[in-house]
Structure formats: structure tokens, C-alpha cells
């Protein structure tokens, strides 16, 4: 299970999951993976907190309607807005798997959270998820006032594949010259699909929830052709120029195959003159932030993320 020292709560969680005999994701069809993984993430997310208002609706997308869930915190005035993209390797995950996390962020920042149910692979391969994420962000900017939000204070964020989409949305907004988010919150984002052979892939590639085999599985379902892996809108670390992007909060988990590429992206943003706050959580695995119901460090991470987001957007 690798050489890194995992947090005792993480060790207990991994042992508990092993006893349940849940099949590895790479042995399942995408449909089977969703049936096993999505309810598990809901369970490990803990009891959802109450927020002032929750609304499920659909918004226009590039290929039909995009389902979203809007969380509005208590209080008066215009709130900052976080457009959030869930993790799940672009294959699993939905509005329910990240409900507890989005509620916690809405309450603690406080901010309006717009959770986006973008199209999943392999039914909809790259760049479908990117197109939906970008469209949802532009919609939020144009409609912020209608949901108690401030259009001048809009951030994008996400975890894992969702962190990838948040980073790519910022690249696209810059490249297209459209309205741009004011901030990006990237929680252990996938930043380079061109290689799964970094030091942290070699060190943590087996025995944890996200493995090398599961990343190969997600990549294989997400991309149309292998050449897509070098497209900056799939692998933002490979973008030739990262100048002009919004300030970023970049979170890494120490015991994670993605840790090296997460750190590399934070470093490249800094080298490009982007203001970056980088945070690595020792002893944590991918995707620990979603496990609010069982990991105290997940609660700490959400508290810190909300604090950083609120300070960045004047929440």
C-alpha cells in the first residue's frame, strides 16, 4: 500500500472498505461503477447540512439542457458565487455525490454554490464535459443576480476531474476573451493525462482509492483518441502559457497518484505570475475532501477552503 504514512482515520477507512469487498472501479462498466461508487460517496459524505435554499433546475447547454443544483446560504445581500464541478474521473459522480460538500462550502464561505451535472464519459467524451463546464460558468456570470449572487465575485472550483474542468474553464475564458472567473479553487486536480508515470504514480499507484489502473480506466473512457491527452483543455499542465489566469487555491493530498502533477501546476501558475496559495494535506488520500462523514481532516480542509474562498471574493 505504498511507503507513505497515511493518517490513522484514512487507514481505518481503507480497511473498512476492503472488508466490504467493493470491486475495483477498473473491473466495472461505467454503469456498474456509478451504481457502486455514487451511493458510497453519498454515504461517506455524511449528513447534509441545512442551507437557506436549494433549487434543482436546468440551464441551456451546448448540447441540450445541463442540470444544476443551486445552494443559497442564509443572510442578506449579494453573495459571491462558486460554480462547482464534481470529481469522478469524468465517468462517475453527480449532484448527489457532492451534495454534502457543496452545502458545507455554501454555509461556511458563505457563498452561492452552483453545482454542475456536466455530461459524463464514455457516453459523452472529451470535450463534452469541458463545453458544459464553460457554458455553466458563463450562465452563472450572466444570471448571478437572479440567485442572490454578485456577478463581479464568481469563482470556479472542483475536485479531481472537476478540478481539471475548473482549471480548463479559466484557460478557455482567457483564450476566448470572455468573462473570466475571479478565482479558481482546484482540489487535487488532474492536470496531465499524457503520462501516468510520475514519482507519486509509482509510489501510490496501488492500494488506495485512486490507483494507476483506475486513472487509466478514467482516461480511456474520457478521451476520444490518445492524442487528446496532450490537448491543454484536457491536460492544462501542458498549456504553453498560463499567464493572465485568475488567482488560485490549489489543494493536494500527500498520498495521491496526482500529487506531483498538482504541485507542478501550482508551480507553473506561480511562474506565470498568477497568485497561488498551495496546500498539501499530509497523510491524506484522493479523494479525502469528499469524506466529510468519516474524516476529520476533510472537515478541516473544507473549513480552510471556505475561508480562503471567502477572503479571495470578499465573502
Q: What are the residue boundaries of the structural domains of the chain, listed by start? A: 8-313
Does this model's pTM top 0.85?
yes
Q: 81 pairs with which residues across the strands?
A: 112, 154
Q: Report in angstroms the alpha-carbon separations of 299 from 2, 6, 145, 185.
A: 25, 17, 30, 16
Distance CA 102, CA 86 (A): 9
pLDDT of amino acid 77: 76
- What does each C-alpha distance from 241 to 5, 116, 236 come to in angstroms? 36, 27, 10
Give the separation between CA 23 and CA 214, rounded to whole angstroms.
12
pLDDT at position 148 over 70: yes
Cα–Cα distance between 211 and 237 in angstroms, integer? 20
71 pLDDT above the threshold of 70? yes
Whether the Cβ atoms of residue 84 and residue 115 lie closer than 8 Å to each other:
yes
CA distances from 216 to 136, 237, 257 (A): 28, 18, 12
Q: Is the pLDDT of residue 3 over 60?
A: no
Backbone angles phi, psi at 19, to 5 degrees: -65, -25
Judged against a pLDDT cut of 80, whether residue 28 lies above it is answered with: yes
- Whose CA is closest to 234, among 190, 270, 264, 198? 190
Give the residue-averaged pLDDT of 285-305. Answer: 98
Q: Please, where are the H alpha helices in 71-160?
A: 99-108, 128-143
280 strand-pairing partners: 252
Query: How large is the C-alpha radius of gyration of the chain?
Result: 18
Give the chain's mean pLDDT.
Answer: 96
Cα separations (Å) of 155 from 53, 113, 176?
20, 10, 18
- For β-strands 112-116 and 79-85, DSSP reports them as parallel
Angstrom distance (rounded) from CA 192 to CA 232:
9
How is residue 109 written as a grid cell?
464561505
pLDDT of 7-23, one tens digit each? Answer: 999 999 999 999 999 99
Instruction: Kindly report the CATH number that applies to the domain delimited by 8-313.
Output: 3.40.50.1820
Mean pLDDT of 122-129: 98
Closest by CA to 98, choosing from 301, 239, 274, 290, is 290
Work out the pLDDT band at 2, boundaries 50, 70, 90. very low
Q: Tens digits of per-residue pLDDT, 80-107?
A: 999 999 999 999 999 999 999 999 999 9
What pLDDT does residue 4 have? 66
pLDDT > 80? residue 59: yes
Average pLDDT of the segment spanning 169-182: 97
- pLDDT surpasses 90 at 234: yes
Give dist(CA 170, CA 197) in Å, integer: 26
Question: Per residue in 241-280, pLDDT tens?
Answer: 999 999 999 999 999 999 999 999 999 999 999 999 999 9
Distance (Å, whole) CA 215 – CA 65: 28
**pLDDT at residue number 247:** 98
Q: Residue 302 has what pLDDT?
A: 98
- Alpha helices by DSSP H, listed for 191-258, are 199-204, 212-222
Q: Average pLDDT of 139-164?
A: 97
Cis peptide before 287 (omega within 30 of 0): yes
Catalytic residue ranges? 160, 256, 286
Confidence of residue 314 (pLDDT cuts 50, 70, 90): confident
The answer to whether the beta carbons of residues 47 and 100 sit under 8 Å apart is: yes
Q: Does position 36 have pLDDT exceeding 60, yes or no?
A: yes
Amino acid at each position: 500500500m505504498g511507503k507513505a504514512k497515511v493518517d490513522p482515520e484514512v487507514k481505518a477507512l481503507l480497511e473498512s472498505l476492503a472488508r466490504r469487498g467493493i470491486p475495483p472501479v477498473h473491473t466495472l462498466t461505467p454503469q456498474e461503477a456509478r451504481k457502486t461508487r455514487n451511493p458510497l460517496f453519498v454515504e461517506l459524505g455524511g449528513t447534509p447540512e441545512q442551507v437557506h435554499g436549494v433549487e434543482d433546475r436546468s440551464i441551456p447547454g451546448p448540447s441540450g439542457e445541463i442540470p444544476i443544483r443551486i445552494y443559497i446560504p442564509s443572510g442578506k445581500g449579494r453573495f459571491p458565487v462558486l460554480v462547482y464541478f464534481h470529481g469522478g474521473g469524468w465517468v462517475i459522480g453527480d449532484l448527489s455525490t457532492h451534495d454534502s460538500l457543496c452545502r458545507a462550502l455554501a454555509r461556511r464561505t458563505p457563498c452561492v454554490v452552483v453545482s454542475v451535472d456536466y455530461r459524463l464519459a464514455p457516453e459523452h467524451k472529451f470535450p463534452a464535459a469541458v463545453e458544459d463546464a464553460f457554458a455553466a460558468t458563463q450562465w452563472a456570470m450572466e444570471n448571478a443576480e437572479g440567485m442572490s449572487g454578485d456577478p463581479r465575485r464568481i469563482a470556479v472550483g472542483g475536485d479531481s476531474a472537476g478540478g481539471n474542468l475548473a482549471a480548463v474553464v479559466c484557460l478557455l475564458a482567457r483564450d476566448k476573451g470572455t468573462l473570466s472567473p475571479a478565482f479558481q479553487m482546484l482540489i487535487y486536480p488532474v492536470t496531465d493525462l499524457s503520462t501516468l508515470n510520475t514519482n507519486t504514480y509509482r509510489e501510490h499507484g496501488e492500494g488506495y482509492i485512486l490507483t494507476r489502473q483506475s486513472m487509466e480506466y478514467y482516461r480511456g473512457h474520457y478521451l476520444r483518441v490518445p492524442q487528446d491527452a496532450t490537448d491543454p483543455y484536457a491536460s492544462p499542465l501542458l498549456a504553453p502559457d498560463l499567464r493572465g489566469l485568475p488567482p488560485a487555491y490549489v489543494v493536494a493530498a500527500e498520498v495521491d497518484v496526482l500529487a506531483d502533477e498538482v504541485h507542478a501546476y501550482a508551480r507553473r501558475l506561480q511562474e506565470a505570475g498568477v497568485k497561488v496559495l498551495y496546500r498539501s494535506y499530509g497523510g491524506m488520500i484522493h479523494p479525502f475532501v469528499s469524506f466529510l462523514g468519516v474524516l476529520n481532516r476533510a472537515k478541516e480542509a473544507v473549513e480552510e477552503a471556505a475561508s480562503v474562498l471567502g477572503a479571495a471574493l470578499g465573502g
